[in-house]
Amino acid sequence: MGKKIIVLNGSPRANGNTAALAARFIKGAEAAGHEVRHFDLQKMDIKPCLGCCAGGKDPKHPCVQRDGMDEIYPAFMEADIVVLASPMYFWSFTAQLKTAIDRSFAVAELDPDYRLHHKGCVMLMAAGGDSEPNFAPVKDFYASLLGHLGWKDLGMILAGGVMAPGDIAGHPALEEAEVLGASIK
């Protein structure tokens, strides 16, 4: 049976390198029969977490704030797989993606033990640098995040050496992203 997949794309560049990676992943996943929803976080009104820890009271509106996350929450709760797609900004995800991740805490607040349902997770990332040390901090962050959430890593596609939109054309990571999407079971 097809899986429910959501792509949280934190790139501010609609036609950038991350968008190209996400498009190829989605192509592979849809060809394999999965249902994919793509959220372009830059275009959405998503406010930062207030740290009030007062969410989790209403499954229809897990957070006390009413904004674009209300569109994401139902899909996030249903999703079997979450794809975290972002350019590398200062050795991490963009603020757009980090903000959405922070706001997912309101879903965990629906559970008395602050647990989210088990999910698979994929990371897609474009970066200007192309060395192992350049990617080490974000790989650590991704591993810590998944360790905390109890989610399973299904794969990381890291496209280094790409700066301007379009630089990713012909990069092997594009094919790898499509193959990863198609390999989802």
Ligand X SMILES: Cc1cc2nc3c(=O)[nH]c(=O)nc-3n(C[C@H](O)[C@H](O)[C@H](O)COP(=O)(O)O)c2cc1C
Minimum CB separation from ligand X for residue 178, in Å? 17
Q: Which amino acid is at 11?
A: S
CA dist., res. 8 & res. 154, Å (int): 15
Nearest Cα to Cα of residue 113 among 65, 84, 148: 148
What token pair was written down for 152? 């399973």
Smaller CB distance to ligand X: residue 110 or 145? 145
Span of 37-45, 57-65, 83-91, 97-105 interacting with ligand X by CB under 6 A: 83-91
Nearest Cα to Cα of residue 87 among 23, 10, 139: 10
Bridge partners, 85 (sequence order): 9, 124
Q: Give SS3 for 72.
A: helix
Shortest-Cβ-distance residue relative to ligand X:
16
Which residue among 50, 54, 163, 169 contacts ligand X (CB under 6 A)? 163
The 112-151 site mask, x for binding ligand X (CB under 6 A), equals: --------------xxxx----x-----------------
Minimum CB separation from ligand X for residue 151, in Å? 23
Which residue among 45, 51, 60, 90 contacts ligand X (CB under 6 A)? 90
For residue 16, state whether it binds ligand X (rule: CB under 6 A): yes
- Judged by CB under 6 A, the number of residues near ligand X is 18
Q: Helices marked H in the chain — which ranges?
A: 17-31, 69-78, 95-103, 105-108, 132-149, 172-183
Which residue among 55, 87, 155, 181 contacts ligand X (CB under 6 A)? 87
The total of other beta-carbon atoms located within 10 Å of residue 50's CB is 13
Residues that bind ligand X (CB under 6 A): 11, 13, 16-18, 87-91, 126-129, 134, 162-163, 165
